[in-house]
A and B are shown apart, each in its own frame.
Chain A
């Protein structure tokens, strides 16, 4: 088991190295940052001095080495547009994005699971058919459109929920801010979380339904019925547990996507998170922020993958042996 964990961590490190290389290459290929920072009438010596001070005149390999070394210390340089350390900019906005992403993921997982199980067990009922139809909409409608429709209905027409921002936040520790503790924070969370999680919810619902129908056809479920076990035990003990194995993989990977794709939802709801920061960085060719964001998302994906792989062992005893050897 320990060897398995170490091997997986080594693999993760290799992936992160590749991501770092790509992030670094952005510095060299996405425009000239100096042009963005100086005015048209800045003297040439001033430009050259800035170029030197940013280390842009060193050999590529030295620059990459420096980039890696700094990245290991969570130092991604200074934002061109804000003139502030990138790490601090991201850290300030990370709580907003993470709270939104985890709320959306929890919503997607819980509702998707319940609806999926219902659709599998009562597949011919009208409610199951309705869920199926709704899920098609969820899969096919683009996120920004869902967000705009929700804002129109619940914020503009009904006026129940706020249409943008995070509401009132509470400072928690050194740099974490949370919207979970205030009523306005929670209200502000509802629409963006649904918007962000809807696609994943329908995906999980359809996956759970398909998997569970598959599991219900297996011999061990037939045998469980032949032994006269209680229906509830067959459905929620024997069938659901086997259904969950592929669901864990997908749900885990989707959590990464949720964080990465929060960009669109954050834009629609003007949510003060990392995605909004990233979009501004793209508009202003603020490469340190783009590079740091890329590294961060890469790290999240790698970590989530690692966690998913380790969870398998908890659910499926057959994989524990595979991990041991």
Chain B
């Protein structure tokens, strides 16, 4: 059995504000294997991006990691000092941000930014670093890289800039990449190219990817597994086909049901009633209970943890291994009492 690249256990992230402590992440656990793409979906504010920032060690005050463990190849990295963390960032773990238009420093040539990153993490000479930068640009599909390397970011289109951003993330051949909504700011046609590129790099290099997005289409195309997050917790996690086709958690069901399809003849798009609770106002028990149509007594009292669904699966499709859901409907034998 291979060892996971990244292992997150019971991660808690808090933000200290004047109004009190806000729990942005409250007990998130998952593993990501080499070469695997874990899609992370959820509404805005569900904690997707904060989880990514926590792994790469870029939670800025007033935020802080309040508990749990993050392991990279079995080594804890959540408690490292800033300098050791910096050495890991870019070298072992890289991150791709949402907006390629603002991710690149406008005053430096693309090549300067690539070469600086390469020189920071390797022992290459400046000329070798430049050659490597050209290779990287070529690899991410930038035409005429030996010429484009001397261009400034504003001379590239949005899709091309995101390719540059990916090249920057790959400078030191990291084992793990956090891609925080890498396609949200791009055209649909360009999105597909970028997704294909990430997928390809992942396959060829065995890089593990945590792909944060709220685009289910992107997840379905790219991810091996998917985690559905809600109010700072994982609601459901499992193989992507399983979760997308046969979601169990009422929230995941609502989320998948909200994807418009050409075949469906519904007059209105399906929507989940209500909105996600504020971090300062998360209800007792299951955070989804005010919006859930199958809520029962236990949901108001006890917070469910992701577990293998064992009960209440009559009529559900057979499950793939590794599918877990945080819902009392499936994990406690109390479904009979559901109202």
Contacts and interface: CB of A to CB of B under 8 A. Distances in A.
A binds B: yes
Residue from A219, A227, A229, A238 having most chain B Cβ neighbours under 10 A: A227
Given A225-B89, A242-B107, A318-B152, A219 B117 contact: no
Interface in B165-183: 165, 168-169, 171-172
A228 B102 contact: no
Contacts of B168: 223, 227
A227 B165 CA distance: 10
B154 A317 contact: yes
Interface in B57-93: 58, 86-91
A219 B100 CA distance: 9
Interface in B85-143: 86-91, 94-95, 97-99, 102-109, 116-117, 120-121
Contacts of B94: 226-227
A218 interface: yes
Interface string A297-322: 00000000000000000011110010
Query: Per DSSP, are chain A's interface residues mostly helix, strand or loop, or mixed?
Result: helix
Given A233-B116, A317-B154, A318-B152, A227 B107 contact: no
A60 interface: no
Contacts of B91: 228
B56 interface: yes
Contacts of B89: 225-228
Contact of B120 (A226, A230, A238): A230
Nearest to A238: B105
A318 B97 contact: no
Interface in B159-211: 165, 168-169, 171-172
B145 to A, nearest CB: 19
B103 to A, nearest CB: 5
Contacts of A233: 116, 120
Contacts of A241: 107-108
Interface residues of B, number: 32
A71 interface: no
Nearest to B107: A241
A218 B168 CA distance: 17
A279 interface: no
Nearest to A228: B90
A227 B169 CA distance: 7
B107 A229 contact: no
Contact of B107 (A219, A223, A225, A316): A316
A87 to B, nearest CB: 43
Given A219-B99, A223-B168, A233-B116, A228 B87 contact: yes
B106 A318 contact: yes
Nearest to A220: B105
A218 B152 contact: no
A222 interface: yes
Contacts of B56: 226
B58 A222 contact: yes
B255 to A, nearest CB: 27
Nearest to B101: A219
A237 B171 CA distance: 19
A250 interface: no
A225 B95 CA distance: 10
A231 interface: yes
A222 B87 CA distance: 15
Interface string A210-222: 0000000011101
Contacts of A315: 107
A227 B117 contact: yes
A222 B168 CA distance: 13
25 contacts: A219-B103, A220-B105, A220-B106, A222-B58, A226-B90, A226-B97, A227-B120, A227-B168, A227-B169, A228-B89, A229-B117, A229-B120, A230-B86, A230-B120, A231-B86, A237-B116, A238-B108, A242-B105, A316-B106, A316-B107, A317-B107, A317-B109, A317-B154, A318-B106, A318-B152
Going nearest first, the 9 A-B pairs with the smallest beta carbon separation are A228-B90, A228-B89, A226-B95, A219-B102, A227-B90, A220-B105, A317-B152, A223-B103, A227-B117
Interface of B: 56, 58, 86-91, 94-95, 97-99, 102-109, 116-117, 120-121, 152, 154, 165, 168-169, 171-172
Given A227-B168, A315-B107, 19 more contacts: A219-B99, A220-B103, A220-B105, A220-B106, A223-B97, A223-B165, A226-B56, A226-B97, A227-B94, A227-B117, A228-B88, A228-B89, A228-B120, A229-B120, A231-B86, A237-B116, A238-B108, A242-B106, A318-B152
